[in-house]
Structures are given as C-alpha cells and as structure tokens.
Amino acid sequence: MTTQANDLAVDVRGLRKQYGDVTAVDGIDLEIRTGEVFGLLGPNGAGKSTTVEILQGNRGRDAGEVLVLGSDPATGTRAWRSRVGIVWQDESAPAELTVGETVRHFARYYPRPRDPEEVIGLVGLEAKVDSRIKALSGGQRRRLDVALGVIGDPELLLLDEPTTGFDPAARRQFWDLIRKLAGEGTTILLTTHYLEEAENLADRLAIVAKGRVVAEGEPAALRERHGTGATVEWTEPDGTPRAEHTDTPTKVVAELMHRFDGEIPGLLVTRPTLEDVYLRLTGQEDVR
Ligand SMILES: Nc1ncnc2c1ncn2[C@@H]1O[C@H](COP(=O)(O)OP(=O)(O)OP(=O)(O)O)[C@@H](O)[C@H]1O
C-alpha cells in the first residue's frame, strides 16, 4: 500500500545536520502518518532532539526535504505554527503565575484555542488550578508543559523526551495522557530513551543511532524482523545449565527430547526481546 502525501503529517527525506565536525543527523527519512503516535527512539547523542528542533522550525538544516503539515518548517508561517504543538523542555512560564492564569494566558496566542479549563482537566491538574507554578512537582510541571503544548488545539504534537526524570507512576500517568490526546485524533511524535515507553505508546517507531534510522516499523514487527533465532536452555542430568542459540529451536528441542527420552529438565525457549533488538541495532549490546 502506498501512502498518499497528504496522509503524512511529517515527511522527511535525506535530512542532514552538521555541528562543526559533528554529524548530528546523517540522512534521516521519516514518514509520520496523520493520527498516529510515532516514537523516535535512540541513545544519547543519536540526533533525536536535533531532528525534532528542525521539525519545529527552531533549527536550520544542511540538507534534505522536510514537510510538516504540508509546509517547510524553515519558512513556517504563524498560521502553520498554531497547528503544531510544541512541548518545551524547561518551559519558562512565570513561576509566580497560577496554573489557571498561565493556561488562560497562553490560550490568547492562538486563533482557535481549546477551552483552558478543559485542557487543565485533560492533563489532570484540576486540583492545582490555583497553585503557583513554583509550587508544582516535576511531574505536575511537565503536565502543565503539555497543557501549554495542546492549548492551541494542534493537529501535531511534538514532544522531546517528555518523561525524562519521572518516577514510574508519573510516567504511566503521562502515557495515559498521551493516549487520551491520540484518542482525540492528535498526531504525536515523541522522542525517548526508554524502549518501554516507545513500545507502550508508539503505533510505529524509528530507532536512530549516530544520526541514522537503523530500523523502523511497528514494535512487534521490528522484533520479528530483526530478532532472529531463539535461545534454547535446559539442564543436564548432572545439573549443568546449558544454552544454545539457534535458528531452528524446534529441531534442537526434538533432539533433546530424544536424548532425554521425554521431559527435558529446565527447558526454556526464548525469542529476542525488543530490547535485545534495540541494543543490537544501536551498537549497545555490551551494556547488558
Ligand atoms: N548546539 C549544538 N552544538 C554542537 N553540537 C551539538 C549541538 N546540539 C547537539 N549537538 C551534538 O549533536 C549530536 C546529536 O545531538 P542530539 O541532542 O540531537 O541527540 P539526542 O538523540 O537528542 O540525544 P539526547 O538523547 O542525549 O538528548 C550529539 O553529538 C550532540 O553532542
């Protein structure tokens, strides 16, 4: 099936960005379909933030074609900007203002904003509407950042490492929020270091390493495609644990059955996890 150009919220071909001697983005292609949650997953320094900044129109590029909601971000108009929601890292909203004041204030920048009270509810900050920003926890602060990112009712939301520094409970609450926004039809691009986050949220993801996309697709399909073989583990009669990596696990198990003449002690057959695939593709196998 070919994707129509107008089904794409983001269409990137051959993107390159150099900082002096450092090649941050080395020929990235990306297609993000309207309505999907897309994860850009990769280790530190892979080029994720640079890519997102270029999509936001906040950073120039050295080469490549980039269309975001049909426009080149480098020449994006004010009307285009109002259709793209950006969740800034370390948003510098005035600390003395309350949550309610801040969201209502930002709403005035947009031609067709969402209702501020509804957005505060959406991000789960109803109880904090009269709290000053400086009194919010890190996770609540991040929710406010998302509220400011969606107050203009964007078609596309760009989130750069939205949950870095969250505790596990805050991360899960944040995932619910992203799913809610996706359920309303917002196209979402998020970058993350966390494989679990990408696997839980993303309809499709691209794994980036050293400025290149090394794999792309639905999480389950990536595991299928790149996670070859299986590991068969068992225990020998003298108690020695054994493991064999193989492309034909059924054959190995059949041979073991024959040798043991029935039950195989400690039998375990495992396929590579997406984490194994990710670590291999990003050249981090040794960290396990
Ligand atoms: N303003 C800059 N000036 C010089 N080099 C930069 C600049 N911004 C990023 N880089 C370099 O470009 C490369 C890619 O950085 P980038 O921040 O895009 O990666 P990232 O995948 O977002 O990493 P992280 O997960 O650590 O945020 C890195 O080597 C980084 O040091």
DSSP assignment string, 67-116 = EETTB-GGG--HHHHTTEEEE-TT----TTSBHHHHHHHHHTTSSSPPPH
> Is the model's pLDDT at 216 over the cut of 70?
yes
Residue 179 located in a structural domain: no
Look at ligand 1, atom 31, and give the residue with the nearest C-alpha.
45
Whether residue 283 is contained in a domain is answered as no
What number is the average pLDDT over the span 76-99? 84
Give the range of the structural domain holding residue 233, as residue numbers without chain letter: 229-271
pLDDT recorded at residue 92:
63
C-alpha gyration radius of the chain: 23
Our answer on whether the CB atom of 192 is closer than 6 Å to any ligand 1 atom is no
Residue 90 has pLDDT above 50, yes or no: yes
pLDDT band at 80 (very low <50, low <70, confident <90, very high): very high
Could you tell me the strand order of the sheet in which 241-246 lies? Answer: 241-246, 230-235, 268-270
- Assess whether 57 and 159 both reside in one domain: yes
Ligand 1 in contact with 89 (CB < 6 A)? Answer: no
- For residue 74 and ligand 1, the question of a CB distance below 6 A is answered with no
Q: Residues 2-16: what's their mean pLDDT?
A: 81
Do both 6 and 76 map to the same domain? yes
Protein residue with least CA distance to atom 24, ligand 1: 44
CA–CA distance, 246 with 249 (Å, rounded to integer): 6
CA distance 193 to 201: 13
Helix (H, G, I), strand (E, B) or coil at 60: coil
Supply the residue whose CA is at minimum distance from atom 7 of ligand 1.
19
For the chain, where are the alpha helices, taking DSSP H only? 48-56, 78-81, 99-107, 116-122, 138-150, 168-183, 195-201, 219-226, 249-260, 274-281
Q: Is there a domain that residue 286 lies in? A: no
Q: Which of 17, 18, 22 to mutate to test the pocket of ligand 1 (most atoms within 8 A of CB)?
A: 22
Q: In 3-state terms, what secondary structure has residue 200?
A: helix
Give percent of the chain above pLDDT 70.
Answer: 95
Q: Please report whether residue 277 resides in a domain.
A: no
Q: What is the pLDDT of residues 157-206, one digit of tens each?
A: 999 888 877 778 878 888 988 998 999 999 999 998 888 888 889 999 99
**Least confident piece of the model among 102-106, 134-138, 210-214:** 134-138
Nearest CA to ligand 1 atom 6: 19
- 188 and 75 in a common domain: yes
ipTM above 0.85, yes or no: yes
Per-residue pLDDT band for 227 (boundaries 50, 70, 90) equals confident
Predicted confidence (pLDDT) per residue in 27-41, tens digit? 999 999 999 999 999
Closest Cα to residue 45, out of 246, 193, 181?
Answer: 193
Co-location of 9 and 72 in the same domain: yes
> Do both 52 and 107 map to the same domain?
no
Instruction: Judge whether 176 and 166 are in contact, CB under 8 Å.
Output: no
Give yes or no: residues 241 and 193 share one domain: no
- Based on the fold, state whether residues 25 and 162 are members of the same structural domain: yes
Pocket of ligand 1 contains residue 55 by CB under 6 Å: no
Does the pLDDT value for residue 11 go beyond 90?
yes
* Residue at 244 is within a domain: yes
**Beta strands 8-19; 156-160: pairing state:** unpaired
Contact 82, 110 (CB under 8 A): yes
Tokens read off for 69: 């909601």
Res. 285 pLDDT band, cuts 50 70 90: low
Judge if 98 and 234 occupy the same domain.
no
pLDDT score of 286: 55
Q: Are residues 76 and 108 in the same domain?
A: no
Residue nearest to atom 28 of ligand 1 (CA): 45
Based on the fold, state whether residues 1 and 72 are members of the same structural domain.
yes
pLDDT computed for residue 91 by the predictor: 58
Same domain, 70 and 161: yes
Judge whether residue 1 has pLDDT over 50: no
Extract the tokens encoding 91.
Answer: 């948003």
Tell me, using a 6 A CB cutoff, whether residue 22 lines ligand 1: yes
What domain count does the chain have? 3
Instruction: Give the pLDDT confidence score for residue 70 in this predicted structure.
Output: 95
β-pairing, 84-87 vs 156-160, is parallel
